[in-house]
Amino acid sequence: MKIAATIARVLMGLIFFVFGLNGFLNFLPVPGPTSAEGGAFMGGLAGTGYIFPVVKLIETLVGLALLSGFMVPLALVVIFPIVVVIALYHTITEPAGAGMAVVLLALNLFLAYYNRASYAALLQVTNAWKS
């Protein structure tokens, strides 16, 4: 299980590091949306002026953390909302890229399960109103 987790961590780290850096350096061609809905969604995000740079910075930093093995449980929590949006976007709007999105979601869920002991305190049910 440890070898599988290491492979998954490095693979996910490479994906996010490379594609995160590509957002700044543009060394890989990025295919545009093929549907009107996909174009509208991406146009809306790009129109904010800050979403893509922030997401690409997060992807790059999480990729580095995963590649180095530094704070992996935190990196997985930080990247999970981005992975969910990628998966939803590709399964609903641009099905052509759904394969990679499903792989990312599976890797994220597998690694979260592998690191589940790190999340035990976060998942405890408590009542903040009781002292």
pLDDT digits (tens, 9 = 90+) for 89-121: 999 998 888 999 999 999 999 999 999 999 998
pLDDT digits (tens, 9 = 90+) for 48-66: 999 999 999 999 999 999 9
- pLDDT above 80 (res 125): yes
Whether the CB-CB separation of 109 and 87 falls below 8 Å is answered with: no
Instruction: Give the single-character DSSP code of 33.
Output: P
Whether the CB-CB separation of 36 and 89 falls below 8 Å is answered with: no
Cα–Cα dist 42/3, whole Å: 37
Which residues make Cβ contacts (< 8 Å) with residue 105, sequence separation at least 6?
Answer: 83, 84, 86, 87
What pLDDT does 131 receive?
61
Could you tell me how far CA 66 lies from the centroid of its own chain?
A: 11
Provide the whole-model pTM. 0.89
Cα–Cα dist 35/93, whole Å: 7
- Alpha carbons within 13 A on the beta-carbon side of 54: 8
pLDDT digits (tens, 9 = 90+) for 16-60: 999 999 999 999 998 777 788 988 999 999 999 999 999 999 999
pLDDT band at 123 (very low <50, low <70, confident <90, very high): confident
Helices (H), 26-116: 36-48, 51-68, 72-88, 98-114
